[in-house]
Structure 1
Amino acid sequence: MDTKAYVYILECNDHTYYTGYTTDVENRLKMHNLGRGAKYTRARRPCRLVYSKACDSKSSAMKLEYKIKQLSRKEKVDLILGVLKEL
């Protein structure tokens, strides 16, 4: 059985968004802000968590992550604000 996973969106210091998945959102945010997260966020610190959603499995989290990465910036903002409900 897969462990519960989460999809998250970070807003970087340059106001761009980074989307990823993890099993521990708080620890992952900490790693991003320490410069040990994704290469993308290293030069864009500090980052802040603006969205997270629990998924039943790593596989479902990865699928949702992919869908979010395909969204336009406006659609991501709508998702973060709760205007866009379903993907």
Structure 2
Amino acid sequence: MDFYAYLLRCADGSYYAGHTDDIDNRMAQHATGELGGYTAKRKPVELVWCETFPTRDEALAAERQIKGWSRAKKEALMAGDWARISELARNRQGA
């Protein structure tokens, strides 16, 4: 079984990071507002990044890491710009 970490763009332009073992079902839940909380008040949402992981713990760790990232770093992740992600990480460490 695969597990997923994912990033959504909400209608208000904010980003939401999460994890799941069924990305299609989770997207349906976000779309209907079934989960409540953050995304239910910011529909519609769009899946902008998703990665598979072999374990739930790894997917959860990725979600937690991404939640701590700046908007610029999340956007670099969506673009697959690993050099920019690394640059932004260095800038933050030097701050």
- Unmatched 5+ stretches in structure 2: 87-95
Aligned partners of 2:35 and 2:18: how far apart in 1? 10
Aligned partners of 2:21 and 2:11: how far apart in 1? 24
In structure 1, the partner of 2:38 is 40
In structure 2, the partner of 1:18 is 16
Q: Report % sequence identity.
A: 34
Larger mean CA deviation between 22-31 and 77-86 belongs to 77-86
Aligned partners of 1:38 and 1:81: how far apart in 2? 28
In structure 2, the partner of 1:53 is 51
* Structure exhibiting the larger radius of gyration computed from Cα positions: 2
TM-score normalised to structure 1 length = 0.90
Contact in 2 for aligned 1:9/1:51 (Cα 8 Å): yes
Residue 70 (structure 1) aligned to one of 63, 68, 71: 68
Kindly tell me the number of residue pairs found equivalent between the two proteins. 85
Runs of 4+ with deviation above 4 angstroms: none
- Unmatched 5+ stretches in structure 1: none
